[in-house]
Structure formats: C-alpha cells, structure tokens
Amino acid sequence: MTRTKIAFLYSEVAGYFMACAQSLSQQADVLVVRWPTNAEAPFEFEKSEQLKVVTKSDFTLTQLSNLLSDFGPDIVVCSGWMDKDYLKIVKGLKKEVKRVLSLDNHWNGGLKQKIASFISPFYLKKIFTHAWVPGAPQAEYAKKLGFGDSTIRGFYCANTTLFKAKFEATFTQKEKQFPKRFLYVGRYVEHKGIFELWEAFVQLQKEKPNDWELWCLGTGDQWENRVEHEKIKHFGFVQPADMNQYIGETGVYILPSKFEPWGVSVQEFAVAGFPLLLSDEIGSREQFLQTNNGHLFKAGSVEEIKNAMWQMIEMSDDQLIEKGKDSHDIGMSYTTDQWAKRILDIKAK
C-alpha cells in the first residue's frame, strides 16, 4: 500500500512538534520545511531517516516549490498565513492536495479578526481546504473564517512518550518525599507574567515564611532583569531530554502567562505528574486543568498568584501526590499517536 505523503510548511519548530512528526513518520512520509532556529528556544532534534527536515532560508522560493513538487504530498499543513512564500507554494499545489491551515489565535472579535473573517471566503478559503487548531477558542475563530466542519482540533500535543518516561523515572521518589519547589519553564519575556510571579513569591516569603523554593528554567530578553532571591533559582535554557533532574526535584508547575494562545508545557508537566497553577489566559487550561489537579488564577494579579501558591503550600504531601497522579492521567488523554491519526484522517475527508 502506498504511504501517505505529508508536508509541513512550518515556522519555528520545537521538540514537541518533532516528536509528533516522528510518530507520524511511522505511518507516512514526512517533509518539514522550517524557519531557522530561535535563539531564545534553541531546541535540538534527533536526526531520523523516516522524515526529512529542511530550513527554509537554505532555498529560494523556486527551489522550495520544486522540492514540494518532487515530494508529491497528499496533505500540506501551513503555519498560519503570515509567511507569504508559504502561501505562494500552497496556491501552486495540485487541486487534489488537502491544504491545511494551522492557527492558534483565539477569537476575540477585534477589528483585524472581523476583517479577516470578512475577506476569508475570497482569500483563505480559496487557498486552504481545512483548518487545524489546538482547542475551542481557536475553533471558534476558524469557523468565523468559514472552515466550519472542516475544522480539526488537537494541533498541539506534548512529547507524551518523553514526559511519560520522566514521570516513571521520578514520581516514585516524590511519593516518598514530595519536593517543596515550584517550577516555571518558559521564556524570560514580559508577557509570560514572570515579574508578577517573582513578586508574588517574594511577598509570600515575607508574609508567610515557608520552606518552598521557586525554580525557573528558560532564557529571553528579560534574563538580565531577573529577580534575585535566596529561594529563587534561575537555570537558563534546558533541553527537554535533560530535564529529569529538575522534574525530579520540583513539585508544582506554575505558568503565569498574560498571553498564551495554548501552552504545550502545561500538558508536558501534567504528563510528568505535576499539580498545575495556571493563569486564566492560557489556552490549554481548557483541556489539562481540572478541579482535581490544580488551580486557576487571574493573569497579572500578584495577589491571586500568591493565593494560588499558598493553597499548594498548605496541602499535605498525600494531597499533592494525588493531584500529581491526576495530572498525569489528564495529560495522557491526548498522545502523539492520536495527533498523527488526526492528520492522517484528513486524507479521507
């Protein structure tokens, strides 16, 4: 039987996407065209014969078009409509090719979105046959753009195999002694809410002294402005494959973003067995935060972050362990194999 051929015209790729692509490559031939690596998120990838990854800047537009033509895809997935070269390539595909637009913007009813939804029938809908989105807020936008029943959810998925292995390697020790440390993993940029997080933690230590610490992994343009405190530790960027130590020695995951269309790290650390503290601006909370595995707080509110942290600090080890187990089960409700099935199913639609 002829294998399905699927090409991705992608922006910046991360480890979780490559894990999904690897899973897909077990059943299909996969070509990934990507933008150059982002210095703020310098992910490294394992090389594989089962999928081909090329960097867009190494090719002219004509060369890229020829590369796609020679590959002969059945399905092409394009990251949004911001890359005009990608759009030109998609427009030039044969009619029988399924052309999938991916987007992670929430519908907010703003002027730009209203204009986009007005012109989409004459523009995007003439280029793309389907839309693939992470969750409900993005599905609403896709439907406003005219994709309707051609909208598929589940575009983002964590590397569930990797983080399940980390759970299995670390959680037994946590059941013996739960680590009293919060963990933040993300870029050091203002919209991630890091300054409110640090302020909340510092205030909490003054008002209600306790033995919890805050460990932060990441880098970005605000690295030099990080808050220094005896109980706040900054480790810089860490590759996902090297995270076992940090996962084993921390207990509760916190993501205070003031803007986060989805947030794959939420699923990653759910799978790894972390109770979750999330802001109400994180898209993936809809799927991976439930009443039994964490708490929600208002983005940008130092007081609410502080209260959410305190709720965790006051819990017993047994309560925290149960929340961690619940997180793991919730995180594993969508895997890379299921992600691969979503895109393969498009061929039949």
Cα–Cα dist 152/345, whole Å: 10
Q: Is 113 a residue whose pLDDT tops 60?
A: yes
Helix (H, G, I), strand (E, B) or coil at 55: strand
Residues 127 and 23 in one domain: yes
Both 204 and 130 in a single domain?
no
The reported pLDDT for the residue numbered 277 is: 98
Query: What is the count of structural domains for the chain?
Result: 2
Whether residues 185 and 260 fall in one domain: yes
Between strands 28-34 and 4-9, the pairing is parallel
What pLDDT was estimated at residue 201?
98
Residues 87 and 185 occupy one common structural domain: no
State the CATH number of the domain containing residue 62.
3.40.50.11930
Query: Is residue 314 located within the same domain as residue 171?
Result: yes
Is the pTM value of this prediction over 0.85?
A: yes
Smallest CA-to-CA distance from 262 within 198, 334, 181, 328 is with 334
- Regarding whether 104 and 175 lie in a shared domain, the answer is no
286-306 pLDDT, tens per residue?
999 999 999 999 999 999 999
Please report which confidence band the pLDDT of residue 39 belongs to, taking 50, 70 and 90 as the band edges: low
Examine the domain organization and report whether 171 and 294 are in the same domain: yes
* Res 41: pLDDT: 53
Which of the 8 DSSP states describes residue 228? Answer: P
Full residue range of the structural domain in which residue 297 is found: 160-331
Residues 175 and 96 in one domain: no
Domain match, 57 and 32 both: yes
Query: Which CATH number does the domain housing residue 232 bear?
Result: 3.40.50.2000
Contact by Cβ (8 Å): 142, 117: no
348 — pLDDT class (breaks 50, 70, 90): low
* Judgement on whether residues 261 and 342 belong to the same structural domain of the protein: no
Specify whether 105 is located in the same domain as 178. Answer: no
- Assess whether 139 and 187 both reside in one domain: no
